[in-house]
Amino acid sequence: MMKHLTVIAMGALLGACLPHPPPPAAPYRAVGQGAASWTLIIDDRNITFIPATGQQPVLQPAVRPISGVAGDIYQTQRINVNVVHSPCNDRRTDRIYPDSVQVYVDRRLHTGCGGL
């Protein structure tokens, strides 16, 4: 009986020493500047571009970012994102975001701010 309790106690102690898995990454969000009110969401599964008009969202599987000199670059078949880590002022709300963002969707450029 004593050996059994010792094994259980050792297992509990070892389990407490193991690192916990990291929490899931929060989605990265960006928004269009000025009159263009698009939204970009990057999470661990997808990169989603939601246009301002009634058009359908463009959804691509998530990819690992390329670390560039000024920020992160995401490249998919239809969506390319360039995140520059420099302050960005959303002119619609006058809010300051930590990143300037360029999004190419089907080769069309959209500029905005991100880091929500």
pLDDT at res. 100: 96
Domain count, the chain: 1
Residue range 79-116, pLDDT digits in tens? 999 999 999 998 888 899 999 999 999 999 999 999 96
Per the domain annotation, does 6 fall within a domain? no
Examine residue 50 and state whether it is found in any structural domain, yes or no.
yes
Does 75 map to a domain?
yes
Range of the domain at 54: 23-114
Q: Tell me how far apart the alpha carbons of residues 99 and 116 are, in angstroms, rounded to a whole number.
A: 9
Q: Cα separation of 109 and 35, whole Å?
A: 14
Distance CA 101, CA 3 (A): 61
In contact, 90 and 31? CB cutoff 8 Å: yes
Checking if the pLDDT of 12 tops 50, the result is no
Q: Indicate whether 13 belongs to any domain.
A: no
Residue 16, domain member (yes or no): no
Least confident of 2-11, 47-56, 98-107: 2-11
Backbone angles phi, psi at 91, to 5 degrees: -65, -25
In a domain, 7, yes or no: no
